[in-house]
Amino acid sequence: MDNLKDKKILIVDDEPEIRIMMERFLRKEGFFRIYTATDCASALSICRTGKPDIAILDVMLPDGDGFSLLSSIRQFTDTPVLFLSARGEDEDRLLGLGLGADDYMV
């Protein structure tokens, strides 16, 4: 069985407070292979080169949205994706899950 602490995690959020909070929490839990991105372009680059084991995406990003980012990610990997967003409308949840997200948390 793989050691979960060796898994690579990608956090994509343009709000520094959210990104830092998630990264600190994960490090406190023993995860140290954490990548962060503030926009879709950086996130796609990290997904291609860093090959994260899971991606945590925000929906609202400065150069696009998390839904489009997920569609782009799905073109080359089946990495598990979790949406973590302030947008909690049913339509957003259904869209994210319909595009292939593994979960959607508000």
CA 73 centroid distance within chain:
10
Low-confidence residues of the chain, pLDDT below 70?
Answer: 1-2
Domain residue limits, the chain: 4-105
pTM for the whole thing? 0.91
In CATH, 4-105 is 3.40.50.2300: yes
Dist. CA 79–CA 81, nearest whole Å: 6
Give the β-pairing of 34-37 and 9-12: parallel
- In the chain, what's the furthest Cα-to-Cα distance? 38
pLDDT (0 to 100) of residue 52: 98
Dist. CA 97–CA 55, nearest whole Å: 14
pLDDT (0 to 100) of residue 41: 98
